[in-house]
């Protein structure tokens, strides 16, 4: 693993704190990149994993594969900060799209998602391969 520089200081809830460290897991197209967010006391409160992939119609896309914030830290800006940092990484890489999926009944998270992004009406299906 290669440690990359910490991001700039940002507001976390009402306190200023170190936010994210980025670690590169694998290099190249399709690589998964984890991201973490820290509380003002440097406790891990959330994680995000994202990857880049090629598309046929446009430049690379960024898929936010996993987003988790601990129950005690929810509603304090951690998820928003993680999504915004993934968006920054996607823009820096030249991706034209950042997207993710969530459970239809994940109402609490969807309140935030509806503020940050737009629901495009797609429903995901999975074909069993095994």
In the predicted model, is pLDDT for residue 64 greater than 60? yes
Across the chain, what does the average pLDDT equal? 76
Three-state SS at 114: helix
pLDDT digits (tens, 9 = 90+) for 96-130: 999 999 999 999 999 999 999 999 988 888 888 98
What is the model's pLDDT at position 29?
A: 43
Predicted confidence band of residue 81 (pLDDT cuts 50, 70, 90): very high
Residues 6+ apart with CB under 8 A from 5: 22
- CA 72/CA 80 separation, integer angstroms: 15
Q: Which domains, and CATH codes, for the chain?
A: 2-116 (3.40.630.30)
């Amino acid at each position: 693993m290669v440690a990359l520089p910490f991001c700039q200081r940002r507001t976390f809830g009402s306190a200023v704190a170190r936010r994210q460290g980025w670690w590169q897991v694998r290099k190249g197209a399709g690589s998964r990149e984890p991201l973490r967010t820290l509380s003002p006391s440097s406790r891990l409160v959330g994680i995000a994993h994202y990857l880049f992939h090629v598309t046929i119609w446009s430049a690379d896309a960024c898929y936010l594969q996993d987003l988790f914030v601990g129950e005690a830290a929810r509603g304090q800006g951690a998820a928003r900060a993680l999504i915004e940092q993934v968006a920054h990484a996607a823009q820096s890489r030249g991706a034209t799209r950042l997207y993710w999926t969530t459970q239809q009944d994940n109402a609490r998270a969807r309140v935030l998602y509806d503020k940050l992004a737009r629901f495009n009406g797609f429903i995901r299906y999975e074909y069993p391969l095994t």
